[in-house]
Amino acid sequence: MVVLRERITRELLPFVTRPGQYIGGEYNQIVKDWDSTQLKMAFLFPDTYEIGMSFVGMRILYHVVNAQPDFLLERSFAPLVDMEARMREKGIPLFTWESGRAVKDFDVVGFTLQYEMSYSNILNMLDLAGIPLLAKDRVSGPLVVAGGPGAFNPEPVADFFDLFMLGEGEELLPELLAAYEKSKQAGESKHDFLVKAAQIPGVYVPSLYQVTYGEDGVIKEILPLENGPAVVYKRVLPDMDLAMYPDKELVPLTQVVHDRLVLEVMRGCTRGCRFCQAGIIYRPVREKSVDKLIQQADALLESSGYEEMGLMSLSTADYSCVNELISELLDRYSEEGVGVSLPSLRVDAFSVDLAEKVQKVRKSGLTFAPEAGTQRMRNVINKGVTEEHVLTATKAAFSQGWSQIKLYFMIGLPTETKEDLDGIIDLAVKVLQNGKEIAREKGIRKPLKVSVSVSSFVPKSHTPFQWFGQNTLAELKEKQHYLKEQAKQYKNLSLNYHQSEVSFLEAAFSRGDRRLGQVLLKAWEMGCKFDGWTEHFKYQTWIDAFAACGYTPEFFAYREMDKDEVLPWQHLSCGVSQKWLWHEWQKALAEDLTADCRHNPCSGCGVCQKLGVDNDLKGAGR
């Protein structure tokens, strides 16, 4: 290990850009003694350090595993292309940041599946580590596992993993590691362990399922083997106040994407936006109490020295104690120059009072997500937001001194028309005009800016829109061009959109089955990696890889699925019933709304009944 660390320092770091990403040694890093721990795990994030260090899930699991006396967990990230080239030239394998030890020396190697377009990086990292890519070829060596939102349809990467973990890992991961350690001590084969692991709630072992296909290419049947459960249900924590959370924050040595302390205020969302996978798979809503959050903020600020706290959840303004929490945080820390930041906000949950509190220490731009430009389309997606909400919220922001507003929309949603596209520009112009009026009234000379960000809709598994076929690439490009031309007419209004080819392939993998493992392997062999990065994305190479394997991405991305079709992820469940999702799909087509079950009667999604966990609102009765 010492020799490898010396080689990294001597042969790699002086010859690459941004070597600070690879050296480890961050403040609050945990380095445990290798020989005194029974089981070693390497957590691999399939993107760069600057992105991976912003991932809260890694920080939580880093704390959870290392809190176990007999376990250790170290980190590794995807090296940039110059670092990778140097590593391959010098024959230095992928290593961990804490000890500089080769990843292949660990007992367990775990990835997080956050984004389909990072899957090629997973193969690249395994290859760099010297670990066989295909699970069937790994008779010995580390157990390769994964979790995260992608685990709810892991079929496109099923060939490369021994098992997947569905749901929240604070309890599941230590339980799995303990079972694997026991199996190792007993001298069991990997197969014998996997058969036993499949009985742990939340664990999915793809090799224990047989998938057959019809002549039309549609899945015919998914059969469990060797007593594998017919359906694997996610793990969920009932009380977030009891969940483990770091009391010391890893402080990066270089700038990262979200360089601030993060407080997770709650998990789950029951708003019911029909496009949103996270809003389905993380149900039900479970909040942390203000007292617990203040306790965590105290510990994290003291251990890190950060000057900004980000309040994290799927919809932070929906946290039932948000005003109380922000008031308390600012009362305690504002004199020390510590600010509070909020992520993208729902416009119907934004208030002047909240704006006034957050802006006391420092202002940055605000992002609101109307998602669609017309009320009809917002009803289709069950956004529950009106134009009045948007204008009231943005007026409040402008009146409190914000000069930059970002509006987030999607195009390519089900039933979308030209009028819905026009609505995006119309709404953005109204927001800009209101800002200018307020500026004139207050005598503000600072230039105002409204930025519109437009993404191409990607249908995801476990959502009411999972049956919907994505708009074609030509349709998406035409819509992007139309919006860009319309936005050019207005000064101080800018419009940006994502590369539609990336969204096209993302849709193929988000709705794909395990046949896409062949395509992924071929694409990686042909040089694909960092596919979420514009400068590295090789669209034609991906198309060639599909062709070489005898498939087309159109089959997976564009095809509208039937009600009774066997979906690739049908044997994996977040607790929400397929029957309810189909009913929501029909309601979307009828432009009917479904109320939020936090403040209205149960909508019947089934998650609370199936998993035995209810919505937990700490602000109830306050």
Is 186 within a domain?
A: yes
Residue 280 is predicted with a pLDDT of 97
CA 26 to chain centre: 24
Is there a domain that residue 427 lies in? no
Which DSSP symbol is given to 12?
Answer: I
Please report whether residue 107 resides in a domain: yes
Rounded distance between C-alpha atoms, residue 402 and residue 355, angstroms: 9
How does DSSP classify residue 27? B
Closest CA to 43 of 139, 91, 114, 136: 114
Instruction: Return the pLDDT at 514.
Output: 97
Q: Are 528 and 538 in contact (CB under 8 A)?
A: yes
Cβ atoms < 10 Å from Cβ of 235:
20
Domain count across the chain = 1
pLDDT at 363: 56
The candidate with the shortest Cα–Cα distance to 556, out of 273, 276, 219, is 219
**Do the Cβ atoms of 373 and 327 come closer than 8 Å?**
no
Q: What's the pLDDT at 353? A: 65
DSSP letter at 9 equals: I
Q: How far apart are CA 390 and CA 424, in angstroms?
A: 12
Q: Which two tokens stand for residue 157?
A: 């990467």
pLDDT means per 10 residues, the chain with 622 residues, are 84 94 93 95 97 93 96 97 97 97 98 97 98 95 97 98 98 98 96 97 98 96 94 97 92 84 94 96 97 95 88 89 90 86 68 64 72 97 93 87 90 98 98 92 84 97 98 97 96 94 98 98 98 95 98 97 96 98 98 94 96 90 46
For residue 622, the model assigns a pLDDT of 44
188: domain range?
2-233
The answer to whether residue 49 sits within a structural domain is yes
| 621 is a domain residue | no
Residue 60 is assigned to a structural domain of this protein: yes
The CATH number of the domain holding residue 215 is 3.40.50.280
Nearby residues of 180 by Cβ (< 8 Å), 6 or more positions away: 39, 107, 108, 143, 193, 197
The reply to whether 615 falls in a domain is no
Residue type at 214 in one-letter notation: G
